[in-house]
Each structure stands twice: as structure tokens, then as C-alpha cells.
A and B are shown apart, each in its own frame.
Chain A
Amino acid sequence: MTVDLAIIGAGPAGMAAAALAAELGLDTLVVDEADTPGGQIYRGVEHAPEASALGADYLPGRRLVTQLRESTARYRPGTTVWHIDPGASGGGILSLAAAGYSETVAARQILIATGAIERPVPIPGWTLPGVMTAGAAQLLLKTADLVPEGQAVLAGQGPLLYLTALQLTRAGAPPLAVLETTPAANYHAATARYVGELWRGRRDLGKGLALLFGLVRAGVAVRRGVRRLRVLGRHRVEGVAWEGGEIAVDHLFLHEGVIPNTQISLALQIAHRWDEAQRCWRPAVDEWGRTSLPGIAIAGDGAEIAGAGAAALSGRLAALDAAAALGRIDEEDRDRRARPIRSGLARERAIRPFLDALYRPADSVLSPADAVIACRCEEVSTGQIRRAVQLGASGPNQMKAFLRCGMGPCQGRVCGPIVGAVIAAARGVAIAEIGTFRPRAPYKPITVGTLAGVERDPHQIADNEQDSFA
């Protein structure tokens, strides 16, 4: 099968891009790992009740889902892209796995819209059962109407932390406390440097303040300036402690912001750069989302963390550029259609410099203490990584050979940001110079059985092979 445009991911960027590309006459394929469209931000939105505890910014996701469903784009849920072979003249060949079989699709243009992941929050005890991310708590509410039973505490910083706390409160399960790790100096630095951004981003700033007031009104304790977080417990979380206090908890939800999901873009060896403002690696893209590989673009939070509104707009820009590249519209038409999208994008991005400065993660989040596990899969401690640096492991990819960190089932998704930062700090070199893991195909573990099922009729194969790996 050959398509004009293959889009990976059905979040806001992928859905918006698919609807516009299909409208412009492109034969469009959308593949997504989840069973329903929406991405993590609009997960489960099709079936959400009107009076949702998730709030006013969630339900508008339905419009994007409807646009995707009603478009002529082919939408393939439950499908994993496990390899891309870039083509010399643009686009490439995608290897897909679904329901226990594998197949390839050729695409003239490819758009990677795989969004963001939560930044790892390596603190002592973060691998204990009962410690989850704030995003995980929110996804349980979105998909299954579930709230934590017993005492819950949220710890860390960033808009999602407060949003999740307020959503849990509205859903009848107010957390015991929110422990905010933002250093006091960040408040001064952010407001002093970005006064203009605050005004331009006043809509989003208003939303943020409303979140905080909502929590205070509901009686949720918000403790500021929390340092040296650690998890208490032997077989599961029993409490959380910090400098000067501790609380017994049944659930701890951690969050230190989100970072681009670069698994596929790094594996493709697309050019990346270290973004010091957001303290993360991101692919280098131009104003259309084009990367260093021809006919492969990236839109949404996978290119730059800017939120769902910006993601949808950047998806549309990428769709316009794909249509122009394939000759469906001329460049003048593309630029004319892009103009209002770009003004919208500027509005969506206005608050970002302020948020990046305010919620800049502390050095201890990037490079934690020796006893903290850095690689959850292979249980490699930060101290082991520092010792391996002394023995001559100079970069993340050598560290794999020394300690197997990044070689477990998550393939370095979680420890990648930590390993690079720890090596950089140990060597006294900038993270930008150290680099990060180079992930390899398969992008997600697949079984030999799934591989052997190439080009077999999917209906002949029992679906119990789906998503498993050896």
C-alpha cells in the first residue's frame, strides 16, 4: 500500500493534520497505538459525559475527534509503528504491527505526531508500587472514571500537577496535599523576565490562577518550596517525606512537566538540539515542522512543548506543507492559508517562556543523588552511572554497554533524560555535548511471531498475540 501522507499519532496534532490533509485531497493514513482517537490529552473524550470533572479544556477535543472520524483519512487504531525506512526522495516505508501481524506501508510524506511524555521524576523510592505520575492519575479518570482510594498526594510542579489535583477534587477524591517543588527564586525570575509574555498570555495565566484558587477553595493544602522529596515504604508507598516534613499516603503522583517523545525521531537520526529553556532534547524543525530528513515532519508537543491548542495548529501547518510538497496546492496558497494559523500559534505560545522559567526543573530532577534508581527497567542507580563515567563510559550509548541502562523493555524512554544529564554533570560538560540514547528499531518490542506474520490476513490470526513481546 502507498499513501500520500502517513501520520503517526492521533492526538491533537495528528487529528488536525489528518482532517486538513484529507480535505486537501491527500490520501491520508493515521496510525495510533491507542484504541480510540484523542491522544493522552483527549483520551476517552468521545465517551465523556457533558458534565465532566475534567473541565472546560477537555470536551473541545471532541471537535477534533469528529473532524478525524468524518474525514476521508483512514484511521488505524491499536497499531504500532515499529520501524521507518526513510526514502531518499522523501517520506519512507513504515513497518506497522497490529493484532499479531505486521505489514509495511509506503508514504510519500510522513508526519510524526507522537506528542509528549512526562519527564521522569527520579527520587528515592520512585519505583515502589503506588507511586505513579500525575498524568497516570488523570488518564485513569479520563478512561475509566477511577479515582484513588485512601490518601493521595501530588508532588512536583507544572500546570498538569494542579489540573490533576483539581480534577480529582471535582471527581470527589480531593488529594490530601499538593507538594510544590518550584524554587522561590523561579517565581521572581519568571515574573521579572517575562512581564510582556504574561500580558500576551493572560488568558492562559488566568486559567492557571483559577486552578490554584480552585484548589485552595476546596481546602487542598498546597505546600510551596518543597525540597528533597523521597518515598517512604518497603513493598509499596507508605508515605512521602521532604526537608522538614512527612505524610502517610496510599498514593503518590509525581510530575515535573512534560518533554517531547523523541523515541522515533532519535531512532531516525533526525537532527536534535538541547533546549535549555525547556531542559529537554527536541528535534530541530522549521516553521512547517520539517526535519533534517526529506518529507518527514514533526508536529505538536513531539517537536516543542506548547500544549494541545498549539499542537493542533502546528499539525495543520504540516498538512499544508505536505499538500504543497505533493503539488495539491501551490506555495502561495499554502502561505495564505498558513497566515491565520500562525497568528493563532503565536497566541498559544505566548505564555510558554513564562511557564518554562517558572517550572524549570531543579538540577536534582535531571541528575539525582547516588542512591536513586535512574534506569527502572535494569535497576541501575545514579551512583553506578557516576562510577561508570570514572571508568571511561563517556556518553549515554557507551553507558548501555557498561550497565545495560536503557536496554530494558522501555528502551530508554524513561531513563534517557536522566542518563545524559548525570553523565554531563559528572564530566562537567554541557548536556548538549553529551547527547542522548540512540534508540533502535523495533521502536516498541514485538514478538518474532508478529514479525513472521508479515502479510498474513489479519482476520486469520488470534488477537492474543497483540502487543506481546519476547
Chain B
Amino acid sequence: MFRPRPDSRHATICVEVEGRLVRVPAGASAAAAVLIAGLSSIRETPLPTGQARGLKGHGAERGPYCMMGICFDCLAEIDGVPNRQSCMIAARPGMRIRRQRGARAVAMK
């Protein structure tokens, strides 16, 4: 997990990560909020490899890796929209960030 450095600016933005409220400073991305919340991973790959490692019905666990929009390992469901690159999206007050489990379902509205 990550923490604000000792003399950092105030964390003023409140977001929800997997049901947990965390405060993040302005300028933080949704992926940064995930790291502040202390989640070890934010997505499971759409592949069945995780089952071999004892994760029932899921792919491998992944967390933010590059933080600059390259690797897509920080994919998350943000405000109900799946498969968003959380490192490229600024945290906003009230934002809800959830795990991305495998591939996104086809939206039927």
C-alpha cells in the first residue's frame, strides 16, 4: 500500500474503493486511490490461469504496474463503467471504484 508522505498536501477528495472510503489528494488518479486503500490487486485477468493458483473461477490477480496508461493492469470498474484505465482517470469526490473481474459483460440496456 501507499501513504501520503509526511509533509504532503491535504487529502481532500473522498472516494469509495471496494466499499471502503478513502481520502486522496487532488491530482491523484483512481489507481492511486486503489493503492492508498491498500488493495493488493484491482483486477483479475479474463483468463482461467488463476484457477491453477487456487483462485476459483478467476484469472490472475493484477494491480497497477506502469501508472502511465501503457500496461492496462489497473483496469477497474469506475462509477459502474467496467474496463477503465484507472491510472488515467482523476479521482473525483464520490467516485466508486470496484474490482474488474475478468472481461466486461456486454451491456444490455
Contacts and interface: CB of A to CB of B under 8 A. Distances in A.
Interface size class of B (residues with CB under 8 A): 35 or more
A379 B88 contact: no
Most buried by B among A139, A146, A147: A146
A351 to B, nearest CB: 24
Interface residues of A, number: 55
A47 B70 contact: no
B56 interface: no
Interface in B55-106: 59-73, 75, 79-85, 88-90, 104, 106
Contact of A140 (B2, B41, B84, B88): B2
Interface stretch (A125-133, A287-295, A332-340): A125-133
A467 B66 contact: no
A88 B73 CA distance: 38
B35 to A, nearest CB: 7
A133 B90 contact: no
Interface string A447-470: 000000000000000001111111
Most buried by B among A140, A144, A464: A144
B8 A145 contact: yes
A337 B104 CA distance: 53
Per DSSP, chain B at the interface is loop
A171 B25 CA distance: 16
A243 interface: no
Interface in A143-165: 143-150
B6 interface: yes
Interface in A38-76: 40, 44, 47, 49, 53
Contacts of B5: 53, 141, 145-147, 171-173
A118 interface: yes
Interface string B27-38: 111001001100
Nearest to A115: B68
A409 B2 contact: no
Interface string A230-270: 00001110000000000000100000000001000000000
B88 A47 contact: no
Interface string B6-32: 111100000000000000111111001
Contact of A145 (B9, B61, B71): B9
Nearest to A380: B47
Given A468-B82, A469-B83, A410 B70 contact: yes
Contacts of A139: 67-68
18 contacts: A118-B66, A127-B62, A127-B73, A129-B40, A135-B66, A136-B66, A136-B68, A140-B67, A144-B24, A144-B28, A146-B35, A147-B3, A149-B1, A172-B7, A261-B70, A377-B72, A444-B69, A465-B81
Nearest 5 CB-CB pairs, A to B? A129-B63, A145-B8, A144-B28, A136-B67, A409-B72
Interface of A: 33-35, 40, 44, 47, 49, 53, 117-118, 127, 129-133, 135-136, 139-141, 143-150, 171-173, 234-236, 250, 261, 376-379, 408-410, 413-414, 444-445, 464-470
